Chains A and B, each alone.
Chain A
Amino acid sequence: MCRIFPAAIAAMFGVAVVARPALAWAVTCDALPNLEHSATAPPVVYVEGSGAARALLGPLQAALSVDAKPMYLVFVGDGGCLGAGNFIATQPMSRKVKPVYYTGQVQATCDLPATVGAANLAVSDAYAATCGLDLPTDVADLPGPIQPMLFVVPKASTQRSISAAGAYFVFGFGAASGVSPWDNSGSIYRLDASSATQALLAAAIRVPSRQWQGVDAGSLPASAMAGIAGADAVVNALATDAAPEHAIGILAGGDFGSTAADRIAVLAYKERGQSCGYFPDSTATAHDRANVRDGHYPLWGPLHFFARVDTSGVPLDANVARVLSYITGAAAPPGGVDPVGVDAASGLVPSCAMHVARVGEMGSLMSFAPQGSCGCYFDYVSTGQSSCVKCAKRADCPATAPVCNLSNPVGYCETQ
């Protein structure tokens, strides 16, 4: 698989992000410089949580940094459950990872100020309840795009698939798994208990997240030396394991970028009652997320954005409301950012491209036929082609796909 990360995404969809290392000077996140269009300091909106949202938020961060109404969208990707927990409890953001922001479309990092408050917005790969959190009535859970969760192995591994029962043994028993070749606990790489990715997979394979065997990849000396954590640590651990055939790990789909794809491979997954294992995509090398979209690959859930709202469900903070309007599709993002294109390039699936839905974490699959469907356009941006009929007006469309969806840069005849 080849996922494209913010620089390429932005270049594809109208925002020229300059992919450079973080700016060298230290700056605190609450004292960022004025932006191009701003005579005064633009607002700073903090988003804390799942590192897998990095690719999704990057193009938006870049576009907002040069928008006529600029905003600093600062992302603290410290883990979905950790971020959601801090937000819900109104606790200060963690200092586990360096916050990332964009200025003039250039990615940079900043330091949280000495006294830091709670984030303005949280993002998680899993429901609050999956993280063991109670959602208060003044916090809304707003679903974002769909994200598959992955079992992954080094590129050098010959393994191609795993079943739900196999994963139960591997991650529940470690060295005693009885599942060759995954029977070396030191080569079974997991995340930590603050990870919503692990929490969702824990629900799927029925091994409580805190009972997972194996090694927290972020705690490895090599990860500490490299200054990496979370998904980056899993990828690095897998890619450098001296016994690749024995190595296995987990990742969120949003973390499986082009760099990871060069070093690790996604396993097909066989669910209980399923006769065969399937990749998230139609093949091991495709990018279409076909099996997520049609229900053959069940390891998925929406990204969850948590925001404080009034009794009508409206975000209390106008800047948060603005950011959410772009993420949920209620408003067109600035800078020509194409939400469907960004989702596709980030390994995610917009709900308008799904044919199945579910209620709750790993809930039963059901048919889903979204209004304003975008499956054809998603095929186009994720694979470079679509067999659907292009259209400029409804009359261009056949009876089998009668709706000309013009909300995307290329119009396609969709089912509804």
Chain B
Amino acid sequence: MRSRTRLRLAVGAAAGLAPASCTAILGLGDYAVHPVRDAGQDVAVDAAEIDARSPVDASPKDVADAPDISTDVISCDVDLTVQCFPCAPRAPLEFLNGCTAATCVPFDDSTRLANLLPDGGLPPLPPFDGGGD
């Protein structure tokens, strides 16, 4: 019962909050969670695995408005350049790109940074001249 509840929290919070999280104010419509429905799986069977990879921030506040979609299963194998991470994060990039209801504001390096190297890398710093004072 507890596993099922936690699964509902995990899936519901991720599915309910993630789409709003990264599209909040700047129309990043392509940066969203796409829950993978696996109709053939019994939710209870995968509960342990989902527990281990469920959103850690499924606080009561987050969960309150989340829909009950207990038969959905979230895939944690996502392309973080286009999707937020819908599961309990473990790796640094998963924390940085975790699905969230927080406002995100883009900064497009490719258009904002005129001095990137052709390969997109950073040039070495100039010789230090004592600063700009």
Contacts and interface: CB of A to CB of B under 8 A. Distances in A.
B133 A211 contact: no
B56 A355 contact: yes
Interface stretch (A25-33, A271-279, A331-339): A271-279
A120 to B, nearest CB: 34
In the A-B complex, the 3 residue pairs with the closest CB atoms: A295-B95, A387-B61, A276-B104
B55 to A, nearest CB: 10
A400 B92 contact: no
Nearest to B6: A400
Interface in B23-70: 28, 31, 56-57, 59-61, 64
B66 to A, nearest CB: 13
B100 A296 contact: yes
A364 interface: yes
A104 interface: no
Interface string B78-97: 00111010001110110111
A212 B131 contact: yes
Given A166-B107, A168-B122, A294-B100, A400 B9 contact: yes
A387 B92 contact: no
Given A172-B125, A179-B113, A276-B28, A214 B102 contact: no
Given A271-B96, A275-B97, A219 B133 contact: yes
A168 B125 CA distance: 9
A188 interface: yes
A355 B122 contact: no
Interface in A257-295: 268, 270-271, 273-279, 281-284, 290-291, 294-295
Given A161-B107, A185-B132, A270-B107, A365 B95 contact: yes
A367 interface: yes
A215 B96 contact: no
Interface residues of B, number: 47
A4 interface: no
Interface of A: 160-163, 165-166, 168-169, 172-180, 185-186, 188, 190, 207-208, 210-216, 219, 268, 270-271, 273-279, 281-284, 290-291, 294-296, 298, 355-356, 364-367, 369, 375, 379, 386-389, 398-401
A396 to B, nearest CB: 13
Contact of B102 (A172, A290, A399): A290
Contacts, number: 162
Contacts of B132: 174-175, 185-186, 188, 213-215
B38 to A, nearest CB: 25
A387 B59 CA distance: 8
A136 B22 CA distance: 46
Given A355-B56, A367-B89, A278 B109 contact: no
16 contacts: A163-B112, A172-B126, A173-B125, A179-B112, A179-B113, A186-B132, A213-B131, A214-B132, A215-B131, A270-B106, A275-B31, A277-B105, A279-B102, A279-B105, A291-B100, A367-B89
B130 to A, nearest CB: 9
Nearest to A295: B95
A177 B95 contact: no
Contact of A387 (B2, B60, B126, B133): B60
B23 to A, nearest CB: 10
